[in-house]
Amino acid sequence: VLRRALLDELKRKWPRCAVQDASFQEYGFGATQVTIKQ
């Protein structure tokens, strides 16, 4: 629920952002990597 709310907010404020699962090895379970393009 929190992840979905966060992703919805990111897409609303930064429509060009890219979202993907982050490296488990570096950040652990459930981490999300967000790249905000200008």
Is residue 36 within 8 Å of residue 17, measured between CB atoms? yes
- The C-alpha torsion from 15 through 17 and 7 to 29, rounded to 10°, is 170
pLDDT, tens digit, for every residue of 1-38?
Answer: 999 999 999 999 999 999 999 999 999 999 999 999 88
The per-residue pLDDT for 19 is 95
Q: Domain residues of the chain, as ranges?
A: 2-35
* Residue 27 Cα to chain centre, angstroms: 13
The per-residue pLDDT for 37 is 87
The per-residue pLDDT for 2 is 92
The per-residue pLDDT for 38 is 80
